[in-house]
Amino acid sequence: MAGLPAASRLAGISAPAPAGAHPRTRSGFFNPPRRLIAAANSSIQKWPSDIFPTVGMDHTLSLVFSGGILIAVSCQWRFQVTSAELAVDKTPQAGSQESLIAAMMSPAFYPKPPAEVTHKETHISHLFFAGDLVYKVKKAVRFSFLDYSTLAKRRYYLQEELSLNRRLAPSVYLGVMPIAFDEAGWRLGGWAEPAEYTLVMRRLPEKRMLPFLLDTRQVTREMMTELAQLLAGFHGAAERVGEVQLNDYPAALAQKWQENIADLEPFLGKPAEREMLQAIKNSGEKFLAAEKNLLMRRVIEGWVRDVHGDLHAEHVCFAPEGIQIFDCIEFSAGLRRCDLASEIAFLLMDLSVRGGESLREPFVARYRQLLPDPDLTTLLPFFECYRAVVRAKVHALRLGRWNDETARYLAFAHRFIWQEHKPFVVLISGFSGSGKSTLARALSQRLGVPVINSDIVRKKLAGKAGRHAVPLHADIYSLAFTERTYAKMAREAEKQVIIGEGAILDATFGRKGQREKIVQLAAKHKVPLLLIHCSADEATTERRLRLRTAQGTDVSDGRWEIYVAQKAAYEPLSEFAPEQVIELDTDAATEQLVSDCETFLHSRLS
């Protein structure tokens, strides 16, 4: 290259950016001087044409700067690729991906050496975080859902990734660069034949990524409204998939469902895990068969579109310049082209799994306001289950084994098996210290049904927070205020029933009048009503109550003297038929108690 040391080649060249080149950004592409173009073009002619299987190939040269430093000369190729050519692996054999990973972990590999390089591995890619840039290399892998097994395929799909992701993250995706392997080893750029390719991206701030914001409870309703507005606009303008045949879409969706289940099965070990997956599989198949006409209508009405395809929390960043949604599916147009309800379900599912269930409502409300979808309520539960199975599979593939994340997503997917039984109402009753609230929370997570807790309702009505220890029947524990509390719980439960969901009501329910409100509600709406009565021996109860008081963190104000008074005033469950009630001794492990409750509910609701 004229005017520059030969040893510099393409990488490691240090030169100031030309005046006026992208003055508002620290990195960018621009037209290089003619002398550099001539030198680069001369060397490019030496690259064997079979490295790039093309039809009608041409190229454009650019200089790539970061922080005012020339990091490489980029040659952007435009080409068409035949499927036969993509199937041939023409990767040079001198270097392996293992040695490339080792090379890219060294700061010296990069033209502007960072202080350190960090590495993140997924089941299909390696990412290297080097200063303010990120370099992505695809693994040479083949799965049922993608094929990166040849160099040509990896380059092709990196170019697809660049183009498609600029739709929702235009400031992040910079370009695709070749990586050469010669006598000196691996080199970013270089004049030798490309042995691998890397996608260069701007690094996003970790503390503005949605998972971090969820973990630190920084996500607000306003942020979810803003995200809904962005996605509604993107979805509204997205290309409709017109070539799908009506019968083909439900069949293709059913096939993907079967493939995801099959991909996950080898990682299962315990019989309980296999039973869970089988129940999920059966419920999914039943839904797909029952809603075939709806799914075909979705195609006719244009709800199947070319969108992101992998819209979970890890791919959303609330960056300073605005929300950036990145890493869409590029390896399969079939997976990227999906029902808009499926796309939204992915994000909602991940919010719930990550503890952001309360953030769903503002998002859905704003999204439906901007892009009304009459079928969203019907479709979301199945598609959330579908997407949770996908995430469970991804985490299993990533580590090559069953793991906590796989279990967490599969547990969420298992909620779907209760969908066909909704709406229903479950009362969980018992004296203070009986363990009913612990069971209610755990059962809520398993069923996907909200808990309406009397302590929380009571203190919201009173405008109080934290512990509020007062004598029994005084202040907010007066008989009149308790009556208000149970009436409010009944109204909240009715709201859930009306929208086709269900509710778990967590309270003492020691008096017949308190229970009758819920009995009347169930009769009015003709929904199943079941009761789980919790109890423990007095030694266990006293120990739990004393520990709760000492810790001072529980919303309940239950104490030993209140337990004694509740027991004395208790009225038997005469208004419930025996088959509506299960008695539980909560000395058992919570997991076992939840399992017993599920068995009971299944037997009564099926």
Complete DSSP assignment for 23-87 = TT-SEEEEPPPHHHHHHHHHHHTTS-GGGS--EEEEEEEEEEEETTEEEEEEEEEEEE--HHHHT
Q: Which of 178, 409, 166, 397 is nearest to 280 (CA)?
A: 409
Strands 581-585 and 529-535: parallel
Is the CB of residue 319 less than 8 Å from the CB of residue 210? no
pLDDT tens for 20-72 read 333 333 333 333 344 434 444 443 343 333 333 333 334 444 444 444 444 44
> Which part of the chain is CATH 3.40.50.300?
422-605
- CA–CA distance, 446 with 541 (Å, rounded to integer): 25
Distance CA(425)–CA(440), nearest Å, equals 12
Residue 318 has a pLDDT of 97
Q: Specify the pLDDT at position 246.
A: 65
What's the DSSP call for residue 463? T
Please check whether residue 594 is in contact with residue 428, taking contact to mean a CB–CB distance below 8 angstroms.
no
Question: What is the C-alpha separation between 154 and 35, in angstroms, rounded?
Answer: 31
Strands (E), 529-577: 529-535
Is the bond preceding 423 in cis, omega lying within 30 degrees of 0? yes
Residues carrying CATH 3.90.1200.10, the chain: 210-417
Over the range 46-64, which residues count as b (16 or more CB within 10 Å of their CB) and which as e?
Answer: ebeeebbbbeeeeeebbbb
Q: Provide the pLDDT for residue 4.
A: 28
Pinpoint the alpha helices (H) of 196-303.
Answer: 210-215, 221-237, 248-264, 271-290, 292-300
**27 with 61: CB under 8 angstroms?**
no
Decide if pLDDT at 181 tops 80.
yes
| Cα dihedral: 395, 396, 402, 404 (round 10) | 0
Residue range 95-107, pLDDT digits in tens? 588 899 999 999 9
State whether the Cα torsion 107-112-118-123 is positive or negative: negative
**Residue 312: predicted pLDDT:** 96
SS3 99: helix
Strand, coil or helix: 556: coil
User: Given this model, what pLDDT does residue 477 score?
Assistant: 83
Q: What are the phi and psi torsion angles at 474 (to 5°)? A: -115, 155
Question: What mean pLDDT value characterizes the chain?
Answer: 84
Non-local (6+) Cβ contacts of 67 within 8 A are 26, 27, 112, 132
For the residues of 281-322, what is the DSSP string, one character each? HHHHHHHHHHTHHHHHHHHHTT-EEE--S---GGGEEEETTE
The pLDDT of 286-310, averaged and rounded, is 95
pLDDT digits 0-9 by tens, 145-162 = 889 999 999 999 999 999
Of the candidate CATH numbers 3.20.20.100, 1.10.10.10, 3.40.50.1860, 3.90.1200.10, the domain formed by 210-417 belongs to: 3.90.1200.10
Residue 121 dihedral angles phi and psi, to the nearest 5° = -115, 135
Question: Do 168 and 326 contact (CB within 8 A), yes or no?
Answer: yes
pLDDT tens-digit series, residues 506-557 = 999 999 999 999 999 999 999 999 999 999 999 998 898 888 777 767 777 7
8 Å CB contact between 393 and 527: no
Is the alpha carbon torsion for 555, 560, 562, 566 positive or negative? positive
Q: Would the pLDDT of 190 be above 90?
A: no
Q: Centre a 10 Å sphere on the Cβ of residue 234 and count the other Cβ atoms it contains.
A: 17
Predicted local confidence at residue 501, as pLDDT: 92
Q: What is the dihedral of CA 304, 307, 310, 311, to 10 degrees?
A: -100
pLDDT at residue 86 greater than cutoff 70: no
CATH of domain 422-605: 3.40.50.300
**Selection from 277, 253, 251, 280 nearest residue 264 by Cα:** 277
What is the per-residue pLDDT for 75? 47
pLDDT above 80 for 449: yes
Q: Please name which of 194, 174, 187 lies closest in space to residue 63, comparing C-alpha atoms.
A: 174
User: Worst-scoring range by mean pLDDT, 71-85, 99-113, 152-166, 318-332?
Assistant: 71-85
